[in-house]
Copies of this chain bind each other. A is one copy, B any other.
Amino acid sequence: MKAAAECYLCLMSQVLRTARVLGTDEVLSKKMAREGCAFLASTDFDRTPPEISAGLYQLLAELSGNFDPYYELKRENIRKALELYPELKSLTDSSADPLRTALEISLAGNVIDFGANSEDDWLQDRKFLKLGMMAIDDYTLLSDDLKRAENIVFLGDNAGETVFDRLLIEKIGKRVVYAVREKPIINDATLEEARLSGLAEVAEIVSSGCHAPGTVLEQCSPEFLRKLAEADLILSKGQGNFECLEQIRGPFYFLLKAKCEVVSRHLGVPKGSLILARSRNFSPRLLA
């Protein structure tokens, strides 16, 4: 999915949010905003949003000297999610359909995102668990495909959400490769955050090689591309991964909250919708 006109505005809002998170002074904030504008004006917008934002966040890191502005927030979100874990595990275990419940919890975890319009108070009232109807719900297809699958790759998204993904992987009960970003980008999980979330107990954690907040195939390491090629089912979490992969033929299932107008419009759903969708370009193997 290519970036749209609105992405200029969203990316600028991320520049200002990053400055706020870093607590930069007005001089540096203005410099970050100005150079962010210059970057967006000159970069190729005929690409996916994660490809563009990778360069933008690199610039902000260089300007601020901080290459991991969301470090504390990521840890805080993992800590909060780990506190919830036992309760959510009981909830899942006692469910009539544990896989379905675990999927819903993993999907609900996707509200944790500081890149898109964030809900800072995601824990408050546990409203993130009150899902309502999914706008696209290919659960039956996914459930069948999961039964047959032998090589499952799970593309992670944000730190915190990772804890809920662990619960889902437990219920899938098969060998899963869990992929994270190569380097810190926004609040996306890296190897370190995946380990802190307890994912090593249930999955093989690997880096995708990507420094973008999504899975950009051109950035993926040869080792990870091999794992993707071997996969007969790829569970892709979040908008960033969706934006990068929805055009690619492969065994993709997308789990995401459609957080912005651009993605919602692309999917033909209202903004804020929860999505469990088999790829429109589904193929039993990756054809990249």
Interface residues of A (CB under 8 A from B): 4-6, 8-9, 12-13, 15-16, 19, 26, 29-30, 32-38, 40-42, 45
Contact = CB atoms under 8 A, between A and B. Distances in A.
Contact of A38 (B16, B38, B45): B38
Contacts of A45: 30, 34
A12 B14 CA distance: 13
Q: Which interface residue of A16, A37, A45 has the most chain B CB atoms within 10 A?
A: A37
B26 A8 contact: no
A36 B9 CA distance: 11
Nearest to A38: B41
24 contacts: A4-B26, A4-B29, A4-B30, A5-B19, A5-B26, A5-B29, A5-B33, A6-B16, A8-B15, A8-B16, A8-B30, A8-B33, A8-B36, A8-B37, A9-B9, A9-B33, A12-B12, A12-B37, A34-B40, A34-B41, A35-B41, A37-B38, A38-B38, A38-B42
Given A34-B41, A38-B38, A40-B37, A8 B4 contact: no
Determine how many copies of this chain the complex contains: 2
A92 B26 CA distance: 44
A22 to B, nearest CB: 12
Given A34-B45, A38-B41, A40-B37, A16 B9 contact: yes
6 closest A-B pairs by CB: A5-B29, A38-B41, A37-B41, A8-B33, A37-B37, A37-B40
A105 B175 CA distance: 68
A5 B18 CA distance: 12
B8 A34 contact: yes
Nearest to A29: B5
Nearest to A6: B16
Given A9-B12, A35-B41, 19 more contacts: A4-B26, A4-B29, A4-B30, A5-B19, A5-B29, A5-B30, A5-B32, A8-B12, A8-B30, A8-B33, A8-B34, A8-B37, A9-B13, A12-B12, A12-B37, A34-B40, A37-B38, A38-B41, A38-B42
